[in-house]
A and B are shown apart, each in its own frame.
Chain A
Amino acid sequence: SQQGEEDPQALSIQEGENATMNCSYKTSINNLQWYRQNSGRGLVHLILIRSNEREKHSGRLRVTLDTSKKSSSLLITASRAADTASYFCATQYGNNRLAFGKGNQVVVIP
């Protein structure tokens, strides 16, 4: 299975703090993506990093990818209450499918 595993599973932080989540995967990938999900609804794409990239930024998000360790991290800086959600990493394989991890529940306390 390509399924990623996130660490930690649940995170509770104060507004303004940074939140870091990690993800590991098992085999070669084309790219790795991070998604956010609010209250068990649809997934919102946050950021994609390709296998030949090591770091990528988008607004308050910073993603790193270490293909030698088969791992990625997502950093959310200066967290806000609106960042409260579940965050999933997903690897793309077989050209057309995504394999998701179990997700991180992040709670940002105002």
Chain B
Amino acid sequence: ETGVTQSPTHLIKTRGQQVTLRCSSQSGHNTVSWYQQALGQGPQFIFQYYREEENGRGNFPPRFSGLQFPNYSSELNVNALELDDSALYLCASSRQDRFDEQYFGPGTRLTVT
């Protein structure tokens, strides 16, 4: 297992609500990336945080936002939830000089009803 942890494990929300997902990176890693994985699909890059700032973003609307804290942990916030936001959300941590070595957490399963 990697040293990346995510919370909560599972979450059920109603359409229109807001959700916050959390990720603690592996020791020594200062970069966190978030991915969305819909059922039966591969993960899709949402964004990456480095030095507490967004460092690249995929094709996701602004209602997907994030934070990175001084201890390198990170949050993913999704506003105005839609049914299609139901997915497994994965975070991955890495060192800024080794993006090719990303270590994934176990994910948070979000269900929007």
Contacts and interface: CB of A to CB of B under 8 A. Distances in A.
B107 A41 contact: yes
A43 B41 contact: no
Contacts, number: 69
The B interface is mostly helix, strand or loop, or mixed, namely strand
B42 A44 contact: no
A31 B101 CA distance: 11
Interface residues of B, number: 31
Interface string B88-102: 101010000001111
A25 to B, nearest CB: 12
Nearest to B107: A42
B111 interface: no
A40 B88 contact: yes
Contact residues on A (Cβ < 8 Å of other chain), bracket: 20 to 34
A76 interface: no
Interface in A3-53: 3-4, 30-31, 33, 35, 40-45, 48
Interface of A: 3-4, 30-31, 33, 35, 40-45, 48, 88, 90, 92, 94-103
